[in-house]
Amino acid sequence: MFGWELPPFFAGGVGIVCSELLKELARRDDISVTYVMPFGPKQIKNQNFKLIIADNLKMKDKIKTKYIPSLLGAYISKDEYLEKLEGLVRDKDGNVGMLKDNTLQLYGKNLLQEVYRFSEKAKLIAKDEDFDVIHAHDWTTFPAAEEASKISGKPFIIHVHITEFDKSGGRGASPDIYAIEKQGMESSDKIIAVSEVVKKGLVKNYGINPNKIEVVYNAKVNSSDIIEGAFPKFADNSKVVLFAGRVTMQKGPEYFIEAAEKVLRFYENVIFIMAGTGDQLKDMIRKTSELGLSDNFLFHGFYTRSDANKFFKLADVFVMPSVSEPFGLVPLEAMEKGTPAIISKQSGCSEILRNTLKVDFWDTDKMANQIVALLNHKSLKKVMSEKGQTEVNSLTWDEPVRRCVDLYKKVIRDRE
């Protein structure tokens, strides 16, 4: 299995999904997994599966690097990425360290160069490892999977969690990344999409045969390893409405603010929290000021998973107004803590979640009405909280893993 990240060395939801899949696969007696990632802390170890950090392999004499001018990040904008690079720390050997804000640097100064280096190392790893099938997550690992497949003759599956079109809300894609995505999709034996939303996008934007794509939904994130705790309630017992995620156009923060302005016309004692960073954060702060909402808004900035759990406990309502959301793990995390959720109909998780309120991201009138309803009606909030919690707790990883294993067996048979 190829991945770019793994908790605690991760930047987003893909790393969390990889971790959950690995833990469930490791429970099966008939499966042995080797997880390969480009770089990470040397102290990462796991007794349940073999972990290879490609950056730790001494292959400098065997690999020649082709420099491709590029400054691309996987989750953030170019300007934000350049700003974060100022905080990059490397040790005397040039290994990646920590950033000033305590997040981990996963996408180096030249991401395309690193993707190419990873694919070259994948060829050497594939020669030494004994395996039956390759499972690759996100576009950054598709070239590595393809090279490993060529060397070994083994089939490979790609797992599409998000595409460049999703990140831009359908407005376009980086030509370099699009080419890598499309090449991986076309050369793979099978494609896993995390929702029907993603599958339709692959057919429309990449010309992929729908018969090649299998939808395998994500499940709830295991929070047992997260430090528990809670933020104190506000002194005036204000109600709390939460947005948590990257503050980018894809996540719809402007619609959250527009809905907030309408809620506050009828319900003054509400605090709206926007947790997260992104290229639109400064614009959103400016927008709340222009609308006269500053006294009712709290911008938290970067948050950890432990912080997120505390926010879920504090919040009366969680809102995910995403313009384009391939799946969306955060509502599941909120609902597991008993927080009622409002999610956009444009999200992949809306295909499977039943005990949420759903709204088109642009319909801020309806979004505001739903928020007010949950704040005003204790019985509605109680039912949504209890049924939502029960529903999410039933969404375990055994079913997604069973589907993945079935696909492993299928592509192996097809190659025979």
Which class is 13-219+397-415 in CATH? alpha beta
Please list the residues that pair with 98 across neighbouring strands. 104
Burial status of residue 301 (CB atoms within 10 A of its CB: 0-12, 13-18, 19 or more): exposed
Q: Is the pLDDT of residue 210 over 70?
A: yes
> Which pLDDT score, from 0 to 100, does residue 158 have?
98
Give tens-digit pLDDT for 360-394.
Answer: 999 999 999 999 999 999 999 999 999 999 999 99
Domain(s) of CATH 3.40.50.2000: residues in the chain: 13-219+397-415, 239-393
pTM for this structure?
0.85
> Going by DSSP bridges, is the β-strand pair 50-53/134-137 parallel, antiparallel, or unpaired?
unpaired
Is residue 12 within 8 A of residue 277, CB to CB? The reply is no
Following DSSP, what letter does each residue of 259-326 receive, concatenated? HHHHHTTT--SEEEEEE---TTHHHHHHHHHHTT-GGGEEEEES--HHHHHHHHHH-SEEEE--SSBS
Following DSSP, what letter does each residue of 208-264 receive, concatenated? --GGGEEE----PPP-TTSPP--PPPPTT--EEEEEES--SGGG-HHHHHHHHHHHT
> Which pLDDT score, from 0 to 100, does residue 71 have?
35
Is residue 68 within 8 A of residue 113, CB to CB? The reply is yes
As a whole number, mean pLDDT of residues 382-410 equals: 97
Cα atoms found within 13 Å of the Cα of residue 338, Cβ hemisphere only: 5
Q: Is the pLDDT of residue 89 over 60?
A: no
Q: Is the pLDDT of residue 229 over 80?
A: no
As a whole number, mean pLDDT of residues 131-142 equals: 96
Conformational region of residue 4, where left means phi above 0, alpha means psi within -120 to 50, and beta covers everything else = alpha
Highest mean pLDDT among 62-71, 82-91, 102-111, 246-255: 246-255
Give tens-digit pLDDT for 299-326.
Answer: 998 888 888 889 999 999 999 999 999 9
Give tens-digit pLDDT for 47-60.
Answer: 678 888 877 665 44
As a whole number, mean pLDDT of residues 137-141 equals: 94
| CA nearest to 158, candidates 132, 130, 139, 176 | 139
> Which pLDDT score, from 0 to 100, does residue 226 have?
55
Q: Which two tokens stand for residue 22?
A: 């690995």
Model confidence at 268, pLDDT cuts 50, 70, 90, reads: confident
239-393 topology per CATH:
Rossmann fold (3.40.50)
Model confidence at 173, pLDDT cuts 50, 70, 90, reads: confident
